[in-house]
Structure 1
């Protein structure tokens, strides 16, 4: 039976049960308890049927029947995960944007900087080799590691298979989560132990918080044990992060951006971008037109510290806290960070943490 028909029948059943439950308010709590049980039973029945319907797609990806059965064994719908996802609705395009400074203070504190420098020093030989091979700076790898999981201390405690199965079945974002559920099965087929499949409620896991499809595409074995282990191997996690950024288009030798000061009376209308981004409109809508560093310098903009990068490097201007506060010129490498997480606050804090780690 097609999933769409099953979903319609399930919705009809749930509406019917809701009507019965309303009537039960006048009868007593025992009747309500029975209705709740009916809803739970209907959900679990539909959930199990949905999972079995994924078998042909899993087989097409090379997942054996034995692995498929092991993956879905004992899985139940997780109402908590569904509620968390429904509470994570997209922000309206016209919603107010808070200041960046409080976010920066929270995510780039003395402890995180100190721990980042410790990770940096402990892995210098490894990091140098990865940067040589990929062009991705050592400090960027460390900053992602720190920002995503506080250097491996906060990685999530949700069962990935149960969470992704719940989110795929629930349907609001099935196009995202169903392929990720199938990707976890592929991971199992390739030898990833079932007990490692723990992470966030939305399916991200390991030190860099990769989704399963990203793990299959970008995870690397840097310590030579035969399998990419981003759960407990810093070497594998750092190499995997670098591989992600290399694929995302990181340009060797370019900074992610620089903090700058604008001259008094700067005419922002001259550099406003007319382009409407097809995705992440709230993020890219705050960026100016692209101009070379030399052109920005000619407009009277000055670095907050240090010297200008190569004048040919293209950059956009962002004022996260508005006019009169610290502004940033952001290169194409900043866009690679946005590819990891499409948030200006996230990408700025990664870049600034990386700068602190390198000092």
Structure 2
């Protein structure tokens, strides 16, 4: 055997070593095929070709992901489910509008969850080899979900292997899916409340700090000395994303430097980091530790900012 056919044997061996039932292995792995469309989509991602250092402007991204439609539908859900959202907030400490904003951003409130077969997607991405170890582990996790009784037909998702209303990778589903409607099951594919509670569980696990807002828009004065607040730390994960953040200062210290919130503010002693997504002379934000928790969900400044802004608009 050569190529993908031989690689199926590698996946079978890894699955057995991880404790996946033999019946599950035999029901799935011999029938896997390589999905060329998945490989095409993966190779087209930013940073793979052309100029990997180019940073597009934030405004077009924001316009696509903080839309009037998402705000309107998010507000309707926020209002109708508010008692349940408050109960989830009391359980996990996460702002309800942020749970709702991630749900809206990820799947348009359940409208777009993806139709790719997860085991096939994950096997194809693992075979490609760019992130082999990661996708092999996620493939094994997808088989463990089958072992737990999740139907194969439910394991559908994006071309990158994320599934359900929150778009969790299979390992995250195993670890953090949560029963939000108190019916004894944690169904992130059909229950909005389970999905929202699972998002809250994820953010708490990522270090969410209760009673702290994600950040605020600010005005930066002309002539501001950015080199004086530049961070010298190198993040172990997503270093290019974190390189765009300043060092931490308290809100009191930022105000002393002339950085003024344009709307709501944060407590004087709250630590915050400055980010200017479109560079000087454009909208800037002071972000808190909870912005970093959103980055853990998707390590993109544009993603985290648009989630925060969508949440603000929904709650308003």
- TM-score, scaled relative to structure 1: 0.84
Q: How many aligned positions are there?
A: 315
In 2, Cα distance between equivalents of 1:123 and 1:71: 39
Q: Aligned partners of 2:93 and 2:122: how far apart in 1?
A: 34
Alpha-carbon distance in 2 for matches of 1:167, 1:97: 25
Q: Which residue of 1 aligns with 2:149?
A: 191
Distance across 1 between alignment mates of 2:34 and 2:60: 37
Evaluate the alpha carbon distance shift between residue 254 and residue 229 of structure 1 in structure 2; reply closer, same or farther with a 3 A threshold. same
- Structure 2: give runs of 5+ residues left out of the alignment: none
Identify the residue that residue 229 of structure 2 maps to in structure 1. 271
CA contact (8 A) 2:46 2:52 kept: no
- Contact (CA 8 Å) 1:93, 1:281: kept in 2 or not? no
User: What residue number does 1:118 align with?
Assistant: 76
Q: 1:53 to 1:281 in 2, by over 3 A?
A: closer
Deviation for aligned residue 1:264? 2.7
Task: Provide the C-alpha distance between the structure 2 equivalents of 1:305 and 1:226, rounded to a whole number of angstroms.
Answer: 42
Larger RCO, structures 1/2 (Cα 8 Å, 6+ apart)? 2
TM-score by length of 2: 0.94
**Cα distance change of structure 1 residues 226 and 47 upon mapping to structure 2, 3 Å threshold:** farther
Query: What is the deviation of 1:89?
Result: 5.6
2:267 counterpart of 1:310? yes
Cross-structure match for 2:23: 66
- Structure 1 residue aligned with 2:279: 322
Aligned-residue Cα RMSD (Å) equals 1.7
Bigger Rg over Cα: 1
Aligned-pair distance for 1:349? 0.2
Q: Give 1:290 deviation, angstroms.
A: 0.7
2:141 matched to 1:176? no
Q: CA deviation at 1:94?
A: 6.7
* Residues 321 and 170 (structure 1), Cα distance of their counterparts in 2 relative to 1, 3 Å cut: closer
Distance apart, 1:337 and its partner CA: 0.5
Give the Cα–Cα distance (whole angstroms) in 1 for the partners of residues 275 and 46 of structure 2: 25
In the alignment, which residue of structure 2 is the partner of 1:262?
A: 220
User: Residue in 2 aligned with 1:221?
Assistant: 179
SS of corresponding position for 2:286: strand
Offset at residue 214 of structure 1 (A)? 0.8
Q: Cα 1:121–1:73, aligned 2, differ >3 Å: closer, same or farther? A: farther
* Paired position in structure 2 for 1:205: 163
In structure 2, the residue matched to 1:346 is 303
Q: 1:47: which partner in 2?
A: 4
Residue in 2 that maps onto 1:289: 247
What pairs up with 1:87-102 in 2 under 5 angstroms?
A: 87-88=44-45, 90=47, 95-102=53-60
Within the candidate set 204, 207, 210, 1:246 is matched to: 204
Q: Which residue of 1 aligns with 2:32?
A: 75
2-side partners of 1:89 and 1:309: how far apart? 34
CA contact (8 A) 1:168 1:174 kept: yes
